[in-house]
């Protein structure tokens, strides 16, 4: 059988083959990992859909593959199967497969469909447009009419590159339009190193620009006195270590954020641009920005409102380590409603963090340190935490953002109120 790249979920339509774990002629078992594919979110081990012999390998290491592309041919040794010419209308075998991201569930909405093109003036119909829903979504976002796009893929399939070219052609040319990209030949001044913008780094770049272009960013800053919280953390540190958890401030902050989100639910929302609705989520999934060797990743702590501080601490460690080792599962990167980024773990005080689109807000944590502050008419040394709250001003006004920050601040400054949930 022809084994095609399955739908990996979360709108992932393509990936890069990193390496094959088998070679032609090898006998494999069903669900045995046979290659590694790097998507814009994670490194995924793709399993064999059935037991058999690897008759042929169709995608080389370093090659970009799209959902539906033939990766290899698996067959029996006695009846080898020769790869057939790829046909877009041929539906892949409806069977889930297992990899490091769990079961790759069927995604019937990702099967290619045909859209009838409008009839030309000559009364002859144009050929049917063959396109994946992920490509159709891109075309909708870029305002491209697919009936006017010529596909360059197999059997005339329209690819994402075709849509982007169609978008460029649809724009009115301007004689005064500046050229894109650098105009300086940097090489003439000395040696340079060119690194392709791809994988996670490319995704980060695209998401940052998309967030800045689609939201009205404003940042609110404040100081939080965490002296009492630091004392509580130090008190419970040994007990947490006995349970295998290194207790940090982050679980407490996540708890405080969730309680504040319940008071100010608009900070836990998104703006649906297609319908114009503000979508207030009545569930709480907190993204944690993690610095990895491959770039910034945001694993998600699901339902921390239903977890203890120890459970949250254990989950933070699990997803952070999996992100750093590229073993993170896609389900752990999905469904976030609010994000926290800990700038102070590296160094820094205040920042202007960019909202994790399509969320409404992100909380940046600076480096906590001892400061001399006025308290009860005296100057005292207190442990202070700088915070930076960036929010979408289309959804939330400055007053509401300040009130939300005050709620977070109040609970962190009063650990008893935090633990009691009021």
Rounded to 10 degrees, the C-alpha dihedral 62/67/69/72 comes to 70
Give Cβ neighbours of residue 100 (< 8 Å, ≥ 6 apart): 33, 44, 45, 327, 329
**Cis preceding linkage at 344, omega within 30:** no
| Cβ-based neighbour number of residue 277 at 10 Å | 11
User: Cα 391 from chain centroid?
Assistant: 19
Give Cβ neighbours of residue 20 (< 8 Å, ≥ 6 apart): 34, 35, 57, 61
What tokens were used for 211? 């967030």
Can you tell me the distance from the alpha carbon of 58 to that of 35, in angstroms, rounded to the nearest whole number? Answer: 12
Pairing mode, if any, of strands 14-20 and 269-272?
unpaired
Q: At CA 339, angle to CA 338 and CA 343, rounded to 5?
A: 155
For residue 364, the number of C-alpha atoms closer than 13 Å in the C-beta half-sphere is 23
Q: Which is catalytic among the residues 31, 217, 220, 393? A: 393
In the block, residue with structure tokens 């979110």 = 41
Rounded to 10 degrees, the C-alpha dihedral 185/191/196/197 comes to -70
Backbone phi and psi for residue 305, each to the nearest 5 degrees, phi listed first = -65, -15
Give Cβ neighbours of residue 295 (< 8 Å, ≥ 6 apart): 199, 200, 201, 204
Per the annotation, the verdict on 31 as an active-site residue is no
Catalytic center residues: 393
């Amino acid at each position: 059988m022809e084994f095609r790249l399955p739908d990996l979920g979360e709108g992932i339509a393509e990936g890069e083959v990193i390496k094959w774990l088998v070679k032609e002629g090898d006998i494999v078992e069903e669900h045995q990992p046979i290659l590694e594919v790097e998507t814009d979110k994670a490194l995924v081990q793709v399993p064999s859909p059935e037991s058999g012999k690897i008759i042929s390998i169709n995608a080389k290491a370093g090659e970009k593959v799209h959902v539906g592309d033939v990766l290899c041919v698996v067959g029996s040794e006695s009846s080898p199967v020769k790869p057939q010419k790829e046909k877009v209308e041929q539906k892949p075998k409806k069977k889930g497969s297992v990899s490091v991201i769990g079961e790759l569930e069927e995604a019937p909405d990702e099967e290619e469909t045909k859209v009838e093109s409008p009839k030309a003036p000559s009364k002859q119909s144009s050929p049917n447009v063959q396109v994946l829903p992920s490509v159709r979504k891109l075309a909708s976002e870029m305002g491209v009419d697919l009936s006017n796009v010529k596909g360059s893929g197999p059997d005339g399939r329209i690819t994402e590159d075709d849509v982007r070219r169609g978008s460029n052609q649809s724009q009115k040319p301007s004689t005064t339009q500046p050229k894109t990209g650098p105009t300086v030949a940097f090489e003439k001044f000395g040696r340079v190193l060119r690194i392709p913008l791809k994988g996670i780094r490319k995704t980060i770049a695209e998401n940052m620009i998309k967030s800045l272009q689609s939201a009205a960013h404003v940042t609110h800053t404040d100081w939080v006195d965490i002296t009492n919280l630091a004392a509580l953390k130090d008190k419970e540190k040994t007990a947490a270590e006995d349970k295998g958890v290194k207790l940090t401030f982050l679980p407490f902050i996540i708890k405080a954020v969730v309680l504040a989100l319940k008071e100010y639910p608009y900070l836990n929302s998104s703006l649906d641009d297609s319908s114009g609705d503000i979508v207030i989520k009545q569930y709480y999934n907190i993204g944690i920005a993690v610095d990895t060797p491959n770039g910034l990743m945001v694993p998600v702590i699901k339902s921390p409102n239903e977890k203890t501080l120890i459970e949250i601490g254990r989950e933070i460690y699990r997803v952070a380590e999996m992100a750093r080792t590229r073993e993170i599962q896609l389900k752990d990167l999905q469904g976030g409603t609010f994000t926290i980024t800990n700038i102070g773990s590296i160094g820094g005080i205040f920042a202007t963090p960019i909202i994790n689109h399509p969320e409404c807000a992100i909380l940046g944590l600076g480096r906590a340190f001892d400061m001399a502050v006025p308290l009860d008419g005296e100057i005292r040394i207190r442990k202070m935490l700088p915070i930076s709250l960036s929010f979408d001003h289309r959804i939330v006004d400055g007053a509401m953002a300040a009130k939300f920050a005050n709620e977070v601040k109040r609970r962190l400054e009063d650990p008893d109120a935090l633990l009691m949930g009021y």
